[in-house]
Amino acid sequence: MSDKARPSPPDGFFTDGHEGDNQQRPAQPPGSLGNVISTTKIITVSGASKDVGKSSLAAFLASRCRACAGVKVSVHDRRPPGEVVVEEGEVPARPETDTGRLRLAGAFPVLWVRSTQEGLEGDLAAALSRVDAPVVIVEGNSVLRYLEPHYAVFVMPSTFADFKPSAFAALRKAHTVVVNGEEGISGGAALELERKIKEINPGAKLVVVPELGREAAWEVVLSRAAGRIGGELMSAGVEERVLQAVRERAEEGRIPCAVALKLAEELEVPPLEVGKAANALNVKIVKCSLGCF
């Protein structure tokens, strides 16, 4: 299918059909690609279309990761001339590019994979075999055919218009869906958008940038990433007093959402700070339906 082809929505999309099919995922362990990097935590950042914000988010996550590599994947109809895997220089010649931004954010090495659909699995394996870092941030949609990431983020606008052909498959695998954009979205429209997203991926959690603001929204994504791959790998900048309070309130590694919200009120900090502390301590926030954590 060419990049210009309009994707067909999946079965049950925009209907009240059963959600079971949308919950199926390939029977692969996290990070499997011939076990090339079996000990590395994988974060993927995919998106609905170009210029939706996925590169900015990938660079933000890289800047908050204590040690990570970066991989940008571009899929073409024909294999481009030159090297398949290109490594970004220590000082990027073009810092405004996706790989340049990842490198400036602190990722090392940063690799650009220029492949085709037919050759992607082998080319991706070749790139990942060069990674020696505890975390790798991979930007691209088609990579999700071969990877089961530890944390997957999907970035989209507030509508399903202009979705790339690979976008629906990437959305199905997302742990977090980031609705990006400058324009506000009404409560009714937000609920309808969430309903449509849940039809494709019932387990996805939403982060709506127009509601929270970009900085706070990115911090929510960071907090969730830390929770999925480990607080020791992602810098969340948590105050010791918040950490201590969460330790005291948690029971058997869990803390109810209502208790966490009350704790944030008592400490006079945003709920996100309690969420960061919980992630850093590997404490699970349970019974949460508000999307605050």
Residue 100, pLDDT above cutoff 80: yes
So what's the pLDDT on residue 235? 66
- What average pLDDT does the structure give for the chain? 81
pLDDT at 10 over 90: no
Residue pair 150/228 in contact by the 8 Å Cβ criterion: yes
Residues in CB range of 204: below 8 A, 6 or more apart: 154, 171, 174, 175, 176, 177, 197, 198
pLDDT tens digits along 243-261: 889 989 998 888 888 898 8
What percent of the chain is predicted at pLDDT more than 70? 81
Average pLDDT of the segment spanning 155-178: 93
Strand partners, 155: 47, 178
- For residue 73, the cross-strand partners are 113
In the predicted structure, residue 291 carries a pLDDT above the cut 90? no
Residue 21: the pLDDT is 33
Distance CA 14, CA 185 (A): 19
What does the pLDDT read at residue 12?
34
